[in-house]
Chains A and B, each alone.
Chain A
Amino acid sequence: MIKTIFRLLLGILILALIAGAVGSVDYFSHFNRLVQEKFSGRLWALPARVYARPLELYAGLALEADNLAQELRLMRYQAVAGQVALNRPGTYLRTGNAVTIFCRPFNFGDRPRPAQQITIRLKNGHIESVVDVATGQRHDLIRLDPMRIGSFYPVNNEDRIIVALDDAPALLSQSIISVEDRHFYRHHGIEPMGVLRAMLVNLKQRRLAQGASTITQQLARNFFLTNQKTWKRKIDELVMALAMEHNYTKDQILEAYVNEVYLGQDGNRAIHGFGLASVFYFGKALDDLTVDEMALLVGLLKGPSYYNPRKYPQRALQRRNTVLTILRDRNLIDIDAANLALARPLGVTETPPSDASPFPAYLDLVKRQLLQEYRETDLRSIGLRIFTALDPQIQQVAQQAVASQIARLEASAGLPADKLQAGVVITSTAENEVLAAIGGKHAGQGGFNRALDAIRPIGSLIKPVVFLTALNRPDRYTLTTLVADTPIRVRTDTGDYWSPRNFDRIFHGNVPLYQALAHSYNVATVSIGMDLGLPRVLATLQDMGYAKPIRMYPAALLGAIEMSCLEVTQIYQTLASGGFYSSPKSIRAVYDLENNLLQRYPLTIEQHLDPGAVFLVNKALQAAVASGTARQLTSMVSSGLAIAGKTGTSTDLKDSWFAGFSGNRLAAVWVGRDDNRSCGLTGAAGAMQIWGRIMTHIPNQPLRLNPPDNIEWVVIDHESGLRTEHTCPTAIAAPFIRGSAPTRFSSCGATKSSEPKAPATPAEKKYLIDWFREWLK
């Protein structure tokens, strides 16, 4: 009783002191307001989390067990050795050709999927079945929780995972209270005795050292105040603590404390709150912690750096055991459990789960797209959940392909080591979702993002644009129209004359248009382009989705125009989708912290090009792979995929490009040097090698070009270019825009013998042989 009165008196004394010190009631109401503002608003700046696409599992999906295991590891699922250990979400068991996954619950926005176990059976590189372990029923398809590929942190670099007090283990709050503030549920924010004791000690030592703060005071300090040790700050802290207790319940204060406290450091990133600390030190959720693990976290409150268990395990162990002893003495745990816990090792994971994104180039793209719609401060503070289209399997395949091929190419081109660089963008052909982006040969390190920022002359990658412009004029050009690959002089803006030459320095005479594209003949391309007019070619380029303003000049017809990998994928995507434009998309949806949809980026398409003309160009691009400049690709990629693609090489072999697509995947690859000197590689010798490596290792669907309504197939005599019977040995089938096929008929044998005529010139001879080789394929 006396003690209580004494305490009360002391409290009044201290309050009087404080009131006296500032001499105003306003002082209290100022802090009162501050506290209310803080609690009524969002308590913390929360980082945005960025996720990859969720893996959809279904019977028929092309998937190797190794790739599945690799993705599960990326998703931080733990492999376990036996059925017994498969006892909590986030684990998986691989046995022979089956993988059983204990899926974590996940909210995809539309509806939450609970934690559940599924068994996936694989056979011949495909999923045979997906079965629910609990019910034994087959799933038609199921989504795994997506891999987190990165975060955008608040400016102060604080990271935390918010936990509600109700969801946290009861022992956690009990331990915190026993260790930090035994009278938490009894005091009013401050402990007058403690304060007085601290004051005396401090006066005696003539400095401010003694702590003895209540949980409420600690929270006040963390929330509002600096870490300076001054009398003024100390008094502010007391008033603030009183204000907090005045306005909020003990549980609200404790919950804020559990989430606020600083518990460690990971490079720039500050680890706050027990939710994140649990993952950071033990790699598991707060719920799954054992008594000794929880005791260590509580012990860290006294000094996360001093007791850093990864750096000073001995100190940390002692501190943990001190906490465990307190818990035992206060009967929070029984003696046996305490002894067991005391005997256990620290159990901290060797390395903290890295939070540096393994895919920085992609994250960079996501951020740039977000910054078009969100303020950077919001992006870093309101806890957005961002769902992207990134496919971790494709991204990894591409990173490995770049790493392995760049080293090989450097050697083959006789370049000094570490000179060659690369950029890659991979998209889906139908929706133009960006599935992977690689910013350089050390893809995991970030830095200069060549996928987006290496803007280089695209060389012959421009040619499909010129040929599409031509084929859009079926009255003048068809795939079999003979075009002149003969010396020409083009007058430039400056009044000079320019005489383009072919890569092989040979003029090929009159060649069918599609052959000129497949073999990438420069001179024929310039003849066509100048005939059509530069503005028309530019209009086609813009229809294909190139948005920057450019000035056209004759050399642009051979790819003097500069683009990034992303811009190249855009123009080729419009071809791959049959003439339907979609803007490139890395983000599918953005949700807020409470799972409310903020923004969805739906699939939209817009027909920009005549599907007939696109069909014809794509046929010629298939010919480029089947028998043109990209024919070496057939030794890497299955010819059954019927890939359409184009090589590109800039002047003096400075830039090596390849762009192409299958039925569902499109990729653009650039290889070159950062110092813009010659890398000594053509498109086929450089970029195409990486492209081929990527495409052979990701699941692809064959490119089936379905002729649109305005396409007709006509049998023509390849020698005369006239219609003929299909029984004629020189007959070939060629697609035409309706009404553009030759009308004259030449009966087989009526004008010539069935043996091919001897060609007139050497150049023509080459083309006839090509012609045959091509069509007999």
Chain B
Amino acid sequence: MLFSWFRIFLMLIGSAILWTCAAPVAPPPEKTPLPPPDIPRIGKAPAPSPVRAAPPLAVSHLNQLATMDIKSGAYAAAFDKLERAIRIDPADPLAWHLLARVQLKQNDPTQAEQLARKSNLLIIDNPALEKQNWKIIAEALDRKGLTRQARQARARSR
């Protein structure tokens, strides 16, 4: 009887080890370089045009205020400011990242994960912020009990 319990115990340990080994964390894909500029390509690259006003200071101002709000636990106020920032510049990855942080703090892991993924989609050459987003994604997945995906996300946060 004792023996069979011991055997089950061993099997469990063994399978746990095997399982960890069997789920190797895939290396994150490299960002592909953009196509060489001298050949034609599908679609249209926006010309660096005067149409776009430089990302206004207002956005970084709001991001800063929201960061302070997050530190002091004023999550609703932070959320409000970040929404305003995104309305001014919807392509600002930092505002989306901070929004993800707010949602994680407010215990909404689903939104936190989505917002962090959105932030990653907008990032151009900012590996540090990208890693922070992966950290949020990992944390959110953990909270949802998706440990395996969380581990993969965590690998990309390092």
Interface residues of B (CB under 8 A from A): 28-29, 31-36, 38-49, 51-58, 61-62, 77, 79-80, 83-84, 86-91, 99, 111, 114-115, 117-118, 120-124
Contact = CB atoms under 8 A, between A and B. Distances in A.
Contacts of B39: 715, 726, 731-733
28 contacts: A56-B58, A56-B84, A58-B58, A62-B53, A140-B58, A430-B91, A431-B83, A580-B114, A623-B43, A626-B43, A626-B44, A639-B44, A664-B91, A701-B52, A701-B90, A701-B91, A702-B49, A704-B46, A706-B121, A707-B32, A709-B31, A726-B36, A726-B38, A733-B35, A733-B40, A774-B40, A775-B40, A776-B40
Interface stretch (A201-209, A278-286, A599-607): A599-607
Contact of A61 (B29, B42, B56, B99): B56
Interface string A686-727: 000000000000001111111111111101000000000010
A147 to B, nearest CB: 17
B43 A619 contact: yes
B114 A430 contact: no
Given A110-B77, A705-B43, A605 B58 contact: no
B51 A430 contact: no
Given A141-B62, A430-B90, A606-B114, A618 B56 contact: no
A60 B56 contact: yes
A702 B32 contact: no
Contact of B34 (A126, A428, A622, A713): A713
Contacts of B43: 618-620, 622-623, 626, 642, 705, 735
A235 B121 CA distance: 75
A430 B55 CA distance: 16
Q: Is the interface of B mostly helix, strand, loop or mixed?
A: loop
Contacts of B53: 60-62, 126
B58 A141 contact: yes
A774 to B, nearest CB: 8
Contact of B41 (A433, A625, A710, A734): A734
A623 B118 contact: no
Interface residues of A, number: 67
Given A430-B90, A604-B111, A640 B47 contact: yes
Contacts of B84: 56
B122 A58 contact: no
A611 interface: yes
Given A603-B86, A734-B41, A708 B47 contact: no
Nearest to A713: B35
Given A60-B56, A140-B61, A712-B32, A605 B118 contact: yes
A204 B150 CA distance: 94
A461 to B, nearest CB: 19
B121 A642 contact: no
Interface in A615-656: 618-620, 622-623, 625-626, 638-642
Most buried by B among A110, A580, A603, A708: A603
Contacts of A777: 40, 44
A734 B42 contact: yes
B42 A140 contact: no
B79 A702 contact: no
Given A110-B77, A605-B115, A611 B91 contact: no
Given A428-B90, A580-B118, A706-B122, 16 more contacts: A60-B54, A60-B56, A62-B53, A126-B53, A603-B83, A603-B86, A640-B48, A701-B90, A704-B46, A705-B43, A707-B32, A708-B121, A715-B39, A732-B41, A733-B35, A733-B40
Contact of B46 (A641, A713, A715, A735): A641
Interface of A: 56, 58-62, 110, 126, 140-141, 428-431, 433, 479, 514, 577-578, 580, 602-607, 611, 618-620, 622-623, 625-626, 638-642, 663-664, 700-713, 715, 726, 731-735, 738, 774-777
B58 A623 contact: no
A623 B57 contact: no
Contacts of A706: 121-124
A623 B36 contact: no
Given A110-B77, A431-B87, A713-B33, A703 B41 contact: no
A700 B49 CA distance: 12
A733 B83 contact: no
Given A59-B57, A775-B40, A578 B121 contact: yes
Nearest to B54: A60
A735 B42 contact: yes
Given A622-B44, A733-B42, A777-B40, A429 B35 contact: no
Contact of B40 (A62, A428, A429, A732): A732
B6 to A, nearest CB: 46
B46 A703 contact: yes
B88 A58 contact: yes
B30 to A, nearest CB: 9
A58 B34 contact: no
A606 B120 CA distance: 14
A639 B34 CA distance: 20
The 9 closest A-B pairs by CB, nearest first: A640-B49, A775-B40, A733-B35, A619-B43, A430-B90, A60-B56, A58-B58, A702-B46, A642-B46
A256 B34 CA distance: 70
A702 B51 CA distance: 8
A58 B35 contact: no
B46 A640 contact: yes
A606 B114 CA distance: 6
Nearest to B40: A775
A110 B80 contact: yes
Contact of A58 (B49, B51, B57): B57
A713 B114 contact: no
A733 B39 CA distance: 7
Given A60-B58, A603-B86, A713 B32 contact: yes
Nearest to B65: A140
A419 to B, nearest CB: 36
Nearest to A576: B90
Contacts of A577: 118
A602 B41 CA distance: 38
Nearest to A124: B50
Contacts of A733: 35-36, 39-42
Most buried by A among B47, B57, B77, B90: B90
A645 to B, nearest CB: 11
B31 to A, nearest CB: 7
Contacts of B91: 430, 663-664, 701, 704
